[in-house]
Structure 1
């Protein structure tokens, strides 16, 4: 007991306890994250998928991302980004880049579905990361009301409350979310492309992500029941339209009156 008491008074004891606490906390967090990501598992990749994906990567991606996807001055490392990030970026045509700029633009995909899958398999083999979501999370049959609340709290400040998109700083923007597939919406949430933060399963559960997708698909299907949405930007664009249109009518009416009196 005396020896144990002396060790407790050792000046390095507090540091040792702190390091032990950090290791335990980190281990528990890593385990919880792994369990959560497993809920959005992808179809199993084969060794052939990864091998073919490696060949496609060397031929089309290594110039910017480096051999082995370790990153270069022209492109970040892809180790640990996961299959979901590759499936989103390549599947929406954002990668390969069309040109250098503040942000990658959506364009027609340069690879077919099989090639996209192979590239995803190769990058997934380099390190653990978010995987391609399974079909049960993409059926848009969640709770739209809950999804709307989650969207307004976490997404509307950039994407607009009507998911019409919005401008960010230095030439960047949050894109409109109409006509975006359920899979790509989910993958964007778990991978955080461009300026978007990552919403892992600790932030928004898989069921919450499903609810958000349901909400987005519902407002997309409803359209704009009030007529032209004017970009869905709210009272600013509506007020500007009324001011310009109303002022134009007044000017036209004034010209008509003066022409009649003369």
Structure 2
């Protein structure tokens, strides 16, 4: 007791007790704050899922089923992941009126908040590919244009054209142009494989290579048209057709004019 009493009378006792008390108060405050912050986050996610379910029931369930199990004209959405829904809805491809045709990119039906709610609902049904974060999409820093060009020619050019302008496929389908597409949607298309497009998993094309692909596409998009009219940048077919039409048309016109003059 005498030793304890001597410690209490020590000059450093009061400051030390004050520091300990402040540390205790700070720790308690941080724990309480974290608990308070965690509750709204969970609540917000739950609210988003509920809102997304209501949107789904009104706008999607007639084709995809009341529980997203799919139907005769539309596939199941269980396990497709957040990235697939964000791509399809964010680019305006879904919802669509006629499921027998290819979904085309158009003005989105739902705004950003509604799309996020739909994404949250479908993602809650089963695990699937997630939406890439901004840190994952830093293609300007992490991408390589030369590598991206090689990857594009080997994996994408046969459908999307060597310049990314899109092209015709079989059975009336087509590969859309990649010009003007948000990098996030390009990445999501690679990991989800919408419609006729195959899925390029991280084992097939790594995340770093995906960024290189995006960087090359954006480089091609910004490339100036030094030759004048691009004519769709779909190669010698349109150029040859233009020459034949204009060239033959001009020759026929000259022949008719000469014949008229000869008479």
2:257 match: 256
1:152 aligns with 2:141: no
Structure 2 residue matching 1:137: 3-state secondary structure? coil
**Where does structure 1 differ by over 6 angstroms across 4 or more consecutive aligned residues?**
none
Shift of 1:129: 0.8
Q: Give the conservation status (yes or no) of the 8 Å contact 1:140–1:217.
A: no
Shift of 1:223: 4.1
Q: Quote the Cα distance in structure 2 between the aligned partners of 1:197 and 1:102.
A: 18
Q: Quote the Cα distance in structure 1 between the aligned partners of 2:62 and 2:106.
A: 20
Instruction: Determine which structure has more spread, i.e. the larger CA radius of gyration.
Output: 2
1:195 match: 196
Q: Give the conservation status (yes or no) of the 8 Å contact 2:74–2:99.
A: no
Shift of 1:163: 0.7
Pairwise CA RMSD of aligned residues? 1.6
Cα offsets for 1:137-180 (capped at 9, x unmatched): 33441211111111111111111111111111111111111111
Q: Give the conservation status (yes or no) of the 8 Å contact 1:138–1:213.
A: no
1:125 aligns with 2:124: yes
Answer with 130-139 or 167-176: which moved more.
Answer: 130-139
Structure 2 residue matching 1:151: 3-state secondary structure? helix
Cα offsets for 1:54-82 (capped at 9, x unmatched): 12111211111112211111211101100
Unpaired segments ≥5 residues, structure 2: 1-41
TM, length-normalised to structure 2: 0.79
1:222 aligns with 2:245: no
Q: Quote the Cα distance in structure 1 between the aligned partners of 2:224 and 2:50.
A: 44
